[in-house]
Amino acid sequence: MPSAANPLDELTLAELRRRTSMKWRTHPSDVLPLWVAEMDVRLAPPVAAALQDAVEAGDTGYPVAADYIAAVQQFAAERWDWQAPPAERCALVPDVMLGIVEALRLLTEPGDPVIVTPPVYPPFYAFVTSAGRRIVEAPLTAAGRLDPERLDTAMKAARRLSPRCVLLLSNPHNPTGVAHTRAELSEIAAVAGRHGVRVIVDEIHAPLVLPGTRHVPYLSVPGSEDGFSLMSASKAWNLAGMKAALLLAGPAAAADLNRLPEEVGHGASHFGVLSHAAAFAHGQAWLDALLAGLDRNRQFLAQVLPSLLPQLDWLRPEATYLAWLDCRALGLHRDGDQGAHVVSELAGPARFFLDRARVALSSGHLFGTGGNGFVRLNYATSATILDEALHRLAGSLDVLSGAAP
């Protein structure tokens, strides 16, 4: 049983609309925003207390990562039964995506290939290409899982382009919500090892594994010794504006981590470090209550979608607070919509639902191959808002069935 009330039920829509973050300021006030990965929650009390204490003490200087690292180590031992790397194999970075870019700079040169597994988080495309590396795709299976055969083929192709190659993974996977198993990750590590491909894993959603499954840290599986992992409290405790993440190195990647420029750690916020450390060290009760609330919303989607939106299919998420909805049966997408490098454009069903239902969802075509005709829905909100959004989506489809718009 959770030890606290459901954090998703604490704020009304009127209270949320007073927020000034991207989620609530991108679209007009009649739109329900279920797109970007921000949750509709208050700060976890331990995080709020840590920040309030710092303000009262005037503790607004430069960040030190020691408490943050210790908190992640403690959390990993308690939640995942895993001994995280020692402090000398952990480095403070500004956030997960900038940490990925810095890891790419340690392992590759401009023009080198980076393998991604679409549909996948759009910034993987944007940040990798901005860093001057080239994308090679190894799409997921129809069930949203990693495909070792496609990865083997992609690694062979990448190695023909350059002797330096990286596989960039999302674990748990965004947008499908799949929690990769130990067997799956071990097999991928083995395939990467055969081809001499290094692995960098975004584990920002790791604390958000839902009831019925477990998170497996990539660096805990055989063959991951030369890999890197990025961890943060950003998604699980809603701290996107509190910039701080950790870059963790496997034992065979320690020498690479030692080449990380010292100034990289200066990009993290002191308040970010304080809040992330407090979340991992003292925020487990709040997290458990959140996970119970997310599981409730996941069950609600499973019950309501078949009756209210039978035209849509979905992958039941094992982790995250993101639902990957298959809208291809609506016929609203075009083959030419595909393009994950265009991160500001909506197309297909996401465009339709924004215009007709006044519900903002993430457009699937931005997530690369396999995303066209899909939308990503953020269900980290109250039951009231989620119910209203689903009914709006259903109502908007009347026009497609011949009813008056």
Question: Quick one: fold of 7-43+284-397?
Answer: Aspartate Aminotransferase, domain 1 (3.90.1150)
What pLDDT does 335 receive? Answer: 66
Per CATH, 7-43+284-397 and 46-282 having the same topology is answered no
46-282 to CATH, choices 3.60.15.10, 3.40.980.10, 3.30.70.1350, 3.40.640.10: 3.40.640.10
Supply 284's token pair. Answer: 């487990």
For residues 228 and 247, give the distance between their C-alpha atoms in angstroms, rounded to a whole number.
7
Ordered by start, the domain boundaries in the chain are: 7-43+284-397, 46-282
DSSP assigned state of 141: P
In order along its 405 residues, the chain shows pLDDT tens digits of 444 699 999 999 999 999 999 999 999 999 999 999 999 999 999 999 999 999 999 999 999 999 999 999 999 999 999 999 999 999 999 999 999 999 999 999 999 999 999 999 999 999 999 999 999 999 999 999 999 999 999 999 999 999 999 999 999 999 999 999 999 999 999 999 999 999 999 999 999 999 999 999 999 999 999 999 999 999 999 999 999 999 999 999 999 999 999 999 999 999 999 999 999 999 999 999 999 999 999 999 999 999 999 999 999 999 999 999 999 999 987 765 655 444 456 779 999 999 999 999 999 999 999 999 999 999 999 999 999 999 999 999 987 765 444
Lateral strand order in the sheet of 228-231: 90-93, 245-249, 228-231, 198-202, 166-170, 113-116, 134-137
**pTM of structure:** 0.95
From the list 228, 154, 234, 137, the residue with the least C-alpha distance to 194 is: 154
For residues 286 and 304, give the distance between their C-alpha atoms in angstroms, rounded to a whole number.
27
What pLDDT does 398 receive? Answer: 86
Longest dimension (CA), the chain: 65
